[in-house]
Chain A
Amino acid sequence: MEEAQGYVLLTGLGLPLLAALILLLLPSSQKMAVRYLSAVIGAILLGLSIYVFLAYQASGNVIQMELQWPWIEHVGFLGENGISLHLGVDGISALLTLLTGIVAFAGTLIAWKLEYRTKDFFILFWVLISGVYGTFFALDLFFFFFFYELAVVPLYLLIGIWGSTRKEYGAMKLTLMLVGGSVGIWIGIFAVVHEAGLGTFDLPTLWEAGRNGALSPEFQKIIFPFFAIGCGVLAGLWPLHTWSPDGHMSAPTSVSMVHAGVLMKLGAFGIIRLGIQILPEGAEFWMPALVVLGTIGALYGAIAALTQRDFKLISGYSSVSHMGYVLIGLGTLHAVGVTGATLQMFSHGVMTALVFLLIGALYDQAHTRDLSDYGGIAKVMPLWVIAYVMAGLANVGLPGLSGFTAEFHIFVGAFHTYPVFGGLAILAAAIAAAYMLRMFGVVFFGPLNPRWSDLKDLSPMETISAVLLILSMLAMGLWWSPFTDRLENTILNLPGVTS
């Protein structure tokens, strides 16, 4: 059974690659075939992700569905046991796998109406998705990094070719900053493998090394920033967040969705996988700094969003703010706080994906993202407005939607360890209400600007995606114990996490 489940994971990262390969062979004029194939793959991956999430036993081992194939052994500096394709999920990655499935499927449907170089788009898209799955599944440092990069690099082309506003700038900045972060991670990886002296890249082995003192505290303190900053760039760590507003502004809709929805989580996930799990002592030493930066990010993003005039900039800054919460939650090193951070990753993922979906749907028709151009569009786009209000309320942290569940746990954790920062973080949530409602008021309500009287509401594809995302938000908001149950064991077993 365990073995068979391991193959499920392998399928998860292999199927998108296979899809890319098949697409490569299709003639690019066959746009409908490309779309249907992609939709089918997306649906299969969604099913697979749901399976992984549901099949993860809350009461079982921390790591489940393991699969290990040796790859490079006894090779010089790579060491005795070297690199192996070691896959498996713990509670955190099971939840994020579910997120990936949902967002990727929604993104596929959204890209349905893409006309320009459809085939190329989907090839890159699937490569990216494969990278995401791979990162979540990998239990080997080398493959972790490999898939991490595989997820980051296609972004450059996806934004550069299919983007809009200042796309070259956005794509270049984003890629350079992320790759810059990767350099830090890479250095850290080699330092850890060398220092541990076990001749292996296997993550569980290295986690053990981090716990039992094979990696000295001094070493951990030095190396932790490499991981934290390297992954932090992708997670929108202040002040390395500026790729986020610009990147989101220029990215095409479905890329924005996947990027803000899933990719930013890779960063936070990396901090857990590499930072907290390999270097518990370093994590403990540096966590106050992470909390401070997270709090600054949360407040800073919220305050900056107050006066933005562009939809996507608001969402970009609000992402900075919300990822700030994730960092605060991780920084507490308290079981509830870390749980909250993980829930927030999921919550922010579906919520932002929904927001970008909706912005895209509007922008495709109206070709402006300036708030003040709009007014009263609830009249012509009721579904759109309802969906946006749901997303916005989740953003604000309204109970009943996922945002509250996540933020509440983070606040509880933060108050336990850093009360002042907890208070500031809650303040940021109040500011979120201000910028969200301001946008609602200006754009959705008030008298209808006659210029927009012929806007069309969501298309069927968009509606399906939106409903899927809203259901996810509601599920976590209303009944969150399926989520927390799966996380509990994993998080209590993280080194350094108190409860």
Chain B
Amino acid sequence: MAEHAWILAAVPGLAFIVMAATGRRLPRQGDWMAVLCATAIFALFFAVLANFLNLGEGAWPILNSIEWTAIGNFELRMGIAVDQITIVMLGVITTVALMVNIFSVGYMKGEPRYWWYFAVLQLFVASMLMLVLADNLLLLYVAWELVGLSSFLLIGHYWEKRSAVEAAKKAFITTRVGDVGLLIGIILFWDATGTFNILEIIHHVEEGTIGDTRLFITMMFILLGAMGKSAQLPFHVWLPDAMEGPTPVSALIHAATMVVAGVYLVARMLPVFELAGDALTVVMVVGLLTALFSGVIACVQTDIKKVLAYSTVSQLGFMFVALGAGYASAGMFHLFTHAFFKALLFLGAGSVIIGTHHHQEMAQLGGLWRKMPITAATFLIGSLALAGLFPLAGFWSKDEILHAVEGVGMWPFFFLAIAAIMTAFYSARLFIRTFLGKPQDPEIASHTKETGLTMTLPLVFLALMSIVAGFFIFHDFGSALGFPGGFGEFVFLHHAHVFHVDWSLVALSTVLFVLGTFGGAWLYLGGRLDRSTVLVEWQPKVYDLVKNKFYFDELYQFFIDRVVLGFSYLVSWFDRFAVNDTGVDGSATMTNYTGFLLKHLQSGRVPNYAMAIAVGVVALTLISLAVGS
């Protein structure tokens, strides 16, 4: 089964085609087909997993490829490779996809283009699965672009809204800039090694086929692609805007799966990054900066989804830091746990939005727990997992990252700790302002009610996962499930390592959690804003800076409006006036004018012509005489 894992991608792909073609005319616009498809791949995943584990460590990675094309010695094979990282990703994708599909049935009820939404969701799942299954960079790139396309279509689902269209455009173009880098990197690899196959590339690099400088440059291009997709600084701007899309989409694409594609790619290529000079340091710096900056921004956002979005960016930064430290298992583990609790949080936010009839500003909410107990409870679990409360999922994975960074140095550890405090702070703030305290807007509060079963069930399931997902790190837990052991013994770069609880780190983490959470509670608990207002008034400039997201958007806008478009106007002007009007029309005008001048030779008087002939004859005779003699 594992060597036919491509079926996982084929099923939703087929579903997309069927639904796009016939969806509108199917009963219930085909949502059942989507759920069915998600369930099927969820079940199939376990078949793949079982087979994978059965085959045992010796058989990994499981490969299966076919010849695609060949031009001379340029050969292209397409295929899949299933190894531990892939299995983790498959698990995350199929689980979250199933939850989101179920949740969407409730969330999207009565929305325009219901069928189209589900169809594109399947397209996304198909391409995301293809992305993680790909055994070569080219297929990975193809899937990479297709998930970008699905993301574009889903962000822009409400295309009647100008802001949604703009957000979709921004997401596509920003990631596209990164994709350019990725494509360049892929082609540079081909040029150096003559293959697109990831394993072969790693093999070549280990043998030293590629020169150091060249390898470093190549990896920087690859990293560019990863940064674009995973919304790392300075490409992070598209992710918060992407919240214009339907909320389940944010949960699936912009929290759990697509945005971690960059992390996946770096983890996949980690052996190469290790050998590529300072490439890993770059990864770590990027991750740290992202974690810090977006953590800070998340602290002042007032829109629930925006807080979650910046939180996601920040957590992706954490994963990059882990990878930058060279710990594939820590990064992948955080990816794994984060997928569940962040999906939970987003779906919880979606539940809030539906329950309050499309309100998502924290200033208008508050005190929701009375009206929406299930949502509140699950959201609380999610927040605590995100904040890193012992022993929830987020705690273990963050601990792993801190543990990984410990070895790298003081400063990264210090900054990461600050980022962790902020995580706890904004989680607390988000939960307190949304669910606790008094309702800020009685009008809204009076309409609020708990959402239906299709929405709460996924919440409960994900909450459960947020609690248990962290335990995968333990040796006994893993081997009980049939894995070779804990997460660290399953996913690793060079050496498997058995996890041991480091109690001093646990203590430190707990301190960080308590600091952040209590900071948040002290400022916001009881529905009061006076303390935070004082803080804002104490340093209004700093607040403005953070509130405006460090003016990244403005900076880019300025760059695009003034530099890019300005250049474009210049080129258009040049094309019109210099090339066309001067060069082309100019030569036409010159010809015309010359003709205007010369036409006067054409007097119409016969003697003049005769004269010309005579002069010509004489001249030619004289010339031929002169030449002849």
A and B physically associate:
yes
- Chain A interface (Cβ < 8 Å from any Cβ of B): 173, 176-177, 239, 242-243, 245-246, 300, 303-304, 306-308, 335-336, 339, 376, 378-379, 393, 398-400, 404, 408-409, 411-412, 415-416, 419, 422-423, 426-427, 429-430, 433-434, 437-438, 440-441, 444-448, 480-481, 484-485, 487-488, 491-492, 499
Tell me, yes or no, whether B583 is within 8 Å of chain A by CB.
yes
Taking a contact as CB atoms closer than 8 A, the residue among B68, B141, B179 that contacts A481 in the complex is B68
Contact, CB under 8 Å: A376 / B572? no
For A491, give its contact among B71, B173, B572, B580 (CB under 8 Å).
Answer: B71
- Which residues of the other chain, A, contact B614 by a CB distance below 8 angstroms? none
How far is the CB of B578 from the nearest CB of chain A, in Å? 9
CB distance from A370 to the nearest CB of B (A): 15
Are A430 and B180 CB-contacts (below 8 A) given A304-B575, A415-B187? yes
Q: Beyond A416-B191, A430-B177, A492-B71: 12 further Cβ-contacts under 8 Å?
A: A173-B584, A173-B585, A173-B588, A399-B141, A411-B183, A422-B187, A426-B184, A430-B176, A434-B173, A437-B173, A446-B160, A446-B161
Judge whether B160 and A447 touch: CB under 8 Å: yes
- From B165, B187, B584, A441 is in contact (CB under 8 Å) with B165
Known: A242-B583, A300-B575, A445-B165. A426 touches B183 (CB 8 A): yes
Residues of B within 8 A of A434 (CB): 173, 564
Q: Chain B's nearest CB lies how many Å from the CB of A288?
A: 18
Q: From B148, which residue of chain A is reached at the shortest CB distance?
A: A398
Give the chain B neighbours of A481 by CB distance below 8 A: 68-69
Q: Which of A408, A429, A448 contacts B160 (CB 8 A)?
A: A448
Contact B180 A429 (CB under 8 A): yes
A485 and B191 form a contact (CB under 8 A): no
On chain A, the residues within 8 Å of B71 by CB distance are 335-336, 339, 409, 484, 487-488, 491-492, 499
Q: Which residues of A contact B568 (CB under 8 A)?
A: 303-304, 306-307
CB-nearest residue of chain A to B177: A430
Residues of A within 8 A of B585 (CB): 173
When chains A and B are docked, how far (Å) is the Cα of A445 from the Cα of B190?
Answer: 39
Knowing A426-B184, A430-B176, A481-B68, the reply to whether A239 touches B583 (Cβ < 8 A) is: yes
How far does the alpha carbon of A403 sit from the alpha carbon of B59 in the complex, in Å? 38
Does B1 reach chain A (CB closer than 8 Å)? Answer: no
- Smallest CB separation, B134 vs chain A (Å): 12
Shortest distance between the CB of B167 and any CB in chain A (Å): 10
**Within residues 552 to 608 of chain B, which ones have a CB less than 8 A from any CB in chain A?**
564-565, 567-569, 571-572, 575, 579-580, 583-585, 588
Given contacts A242-B579, A307-B568, contact A176 B149 (CB under 8 A): no
Complex-state Cα separation, A393 to B579, whole angstroms: 29
Instruction: Please list 6 pairs of residues, one from A and one from B, whose beta carbons are closer than 8 Å in the complex, sorted by A's number.
Output: A336-B72, A415-B184, A415-B191, A429-B180, A485-B69, A488-B72
Given known A-B contacts A430-B180, A438-B169, A488 and B190 have beta carbons under 8 A apart: no
Please report the C-alpha to C-alpha distance between residue A177 and residue B141 in the assembled complex, in whole angstroms.
Answer: 41
Quick check: B584 and A412 within 8 Å, CB to CB? no
Tell me if A445 and B180 are in contact (CB < 8 A).
Answer: no
Task: Determine the chain A residues whose CB is within 8 A of the CB of B572 once the complex forms.
Answer: 304, 307-308
Cα-based distance from A306 to B565 in the complex (angstroms): 7
Say yes or no: B184 contacts A423, CB within 8 Å: yes
A426 to B177, CA, bound (A): 10
| B494 adjacent to chain A (CB < 8 Å) | no
**Chain B residues in 8 Å Cβ range of A303:** 567-568, 571
Q: Is B156 an interface residue (CB 8 A)?
A: yes
B166 nearest CB neighbor, chain A only:
A441
Complex-state Cα separation, A173 to B165, whole angstroms: 39
Residues in chain B near residue A430, CB distance under 8 A: 173, 176-177, 179-180
Assess the A499–B567 pair: CB atoms within 8 A. no
Interchain nearest-CB distance for B319 vs A (Å): 26
A contacts with B: majority SS: helix
Cβ contact of B172, chosen from A426, A437, A492, A499, cutoff 8 A? A437
Q: Does B205 count as interface, using CB distance less than 8 angstroms?
A: no
Chain B residues with Cβ below 8 Å from A308 are 572
Q: Tell me whether B169 and A437 are in contact (CB under 8 A).
A: yes
Q: Which residues of A contact B187 (CB under 8 A)?
A: 411-412, 415, 422
Task: Report how far A196 CA is from B168 CA in the complex, Å.
Answer: 59
Q: Is B142 an interface residue (CB 8 A)?
A: yes
Flag if A427 contacts B180 (CB, 8 Å): yes
Q: Report chain B residues within 8 Å CB of A445.
A: 156, 159-160, 165
CB distance from B489 to the nearest CB of A (A): 36
Report the bound CA distance from A157 to B146 in whole Å.
Answer: 44
Are the C-beta atoms of B146 and A399 separated by less than 8 Å?
Answer: yes
CA distance A419 to B184 in the complex (A): 9
Interface string of B166-200 (1 = CB under 8 A from A): 10110011001101100110011011000000000
Nearest B-chain residue to A488, judged by Cβ? B71
Q: How far is the CA of A173 from the CA of B160 in the complex (A)?
A: 41
The residues of B that contact A492 with a CB separation of less than 8 Å are 71-72
Residues of B within 8 A of A336 (CB): 71-72, 74
When distances are taken between beta carbons in the complex, the residues of chain A under 8 Å from B565 are: 306-307
Known: A176-B588, A412-B187. A400 touches B142 (CB 8 A): yes
Complex CA–CA separation, A448 to B161 (angstroms): 10
Complex Cα spacing A429 to B565, Å:
16
Residues of A within 8 Å of B579, CB to CB, are 239, 242
Is B70 at the interface (CB under 8 A from chain A)?
Answer: yes
CA of A411 to CA of B143, assembled, Å: 18
B241: CB under 8 A from chain A? no
> Does B624 touch A at the CB level, under 8 Å?
no
State A494–B146 Cα separation when bound (angstroms). Answer: 35
The answer to the question of B539 belonging to the interface, with a C-beta cut-off of 8 Å to chain A, is no
Is the CB of B162 closer than 8 A to any CB of chain A? yes
Q: Does B73 contact A (CB under 8 A)?
A: yes
Q: Min CB distance, B572 to chain A, in Å?
A: 5
Cβ < 8 Å to A, chain B residues 75-122:
none
Q: What residues on A are CB-neighbors of B168 within 8 Å?
A: 437, 441
Closest A residue by C-beta to B196: A412
Contact between A433 and B575, CB atoms less than 8 A apart: no
Task: Tell me, yes or no, whether B400 is within 8 Å of chain A by CB.
Answer: no
Residue of A at shortest CB range from B152?
A437
State the CA gap A239–B584 with chains docked (Å): 10
Q: How far is the CB of A425 from chain B (nearest CB, A)?
A: 10
Alpha-carbon gap, A426 to B180, bound state (A):
6
CB–CB A335/B145 < 8 A: no
Contact B149 A393 (CB under 8 A): yes
Please determine whether A306 and B145 come into contact, CB atoms closer than 8 angstroms: no
Contacts of B588 in A (CB 8 A): 173, 176
A184 to B168, CA, bound (A): 48
Residue of B nearest to A385 (CB): B159
Given A306-B564, A448-B160, A335 contacting B72 (CB threshold 8 A) = yes
Hey, which chain A residues are within 8 Å of B70, CB to CB?
484, 488
Task: Tell me the smallest distance from the CB of B132 to a CB of chain A, in Å.
Answer: 16
Q: How far is the CB of A315 from chain B (nearest CB, A)?
A: 15
Q: Looking at the assembled complex, report how far the CB atom of A329 sits from the nearest CB atom of chain B, in whole angstroms.
A: 12
Distance of B599 from chain A, by nearest CB (Å): 19
Chain A nearest CB, measured from B601 CB (Å): 23
In the complex, chain B residues 136-156 whose Cβ is within 8 Å of any chain A Cβ? 138, 141-143, 145-146, 149, 156
> What CA separation (Å) do A303 and B569 show in the bound complex?
8
Q: In the complex the two chains form, what is the Cα distance from A491 to B73 in whole Å?
A: 13
- Which of B142, B190, B567: most chain A Cβ within 10 A? B142
> Min CB distance, A330 to chain B, in Å?
15
Q: How far is the CB of A304 from chain B (nearest CB, A)?
A: 5
| A446 nearest in chain B by CB position | B162
Q: How far, in angstroms, from A441 to B167 measured CA to CA in the complex?
A: 10
CB proximity to A under 8 Å, residues B224-241: none
Quote the shortest CB–CB distance from B288 to chain A (angstroms).
Answer: 27
CB atoms of B180 and A398 under 8 A apart: no
Give B22 Cβ to nearest chain A Cβ, in Å: 15
Task: Report how far A393 CA is from B176 CA in the complex, Å.
Answer: 12
Chain B contacts of A411 at CB under 8 A? 183, 187
Bound complex: CA of A165 vs CA of B597, how far in Å?
31
Smallest CB–CB gap between A372 and chain B, Å? 14
Give me the 9 closest cross-chain CB pairs, A-B, nearest first: A499-B72, A399-B142, A445-B159, A306-B568, A481-B69, A307-B568, A242-B580, A445-B165, A335-B72
